[in-house]
Amino acid sequence: MHRMLDLLGRCLLALLFLGGAAQKAGDPGSVMQLLAAKGLPEWLVWPALAYNALAGVMLIAGWWLGPLALSLAAYCIFTSWFHFLPDDPWQMTIFVKNWAIAGGFLVLAGAHLPRHAAGR
């Protein structure tokens, strides 16, 4: 049962990143605008798209789950910055959800890192 729940959880998380990759591929302009608004180069949409797609596949396949989950936690925390708009309740909800997803990835990392690396 534990393995099935782990796989199901990873697949659900993967949907978020595979959907993000598809969204970036279908409408890169909206992400480019977000990047530009924060003073970042618009071309970062392409490595973000690749990272989202690769991360989604890796989550489903179960490859390098500990390090992947740590990198995804950092990614979620960083991308929450784009949604930190205190005057917009919807964006603040997304901001908080990003931090919650990061927390889930930290739990996943703790479950999949070698015992000595996870501090057990």
Among residues 99, 1, 115, the alpha carbon closest in space to that of 9 is found at 1
Q: Would you give per-residue pLDDT tens digits along the chain (120 residues)?
A: 889 999 999 999 999 999 999 999 999 999 999 899 999 999 999 999 999 999 999 999 999 999 999 999 999 999 999 899 999 999 999 999 999 999 999 999 999 888 765 555
Rounded Cα distance, 25 and 19, in Å: 10
User: What is the rounded CA–CA span in Å between residue 102 and residue 115?
Assistant: 20
- Nearby residues of 51 by Cβ (< 8 Å), 6 or more positions away: 75
Among the listed residues 66, 62, 71, 73, the one whose alpha carbon sits nearest the alpha carbon of residue 9: 62
Work out the number of other CB atoms within 10 angstroms of the CB of residue 32: 18
Give the Cα separation of 118 and 101 in Å (integer): 19
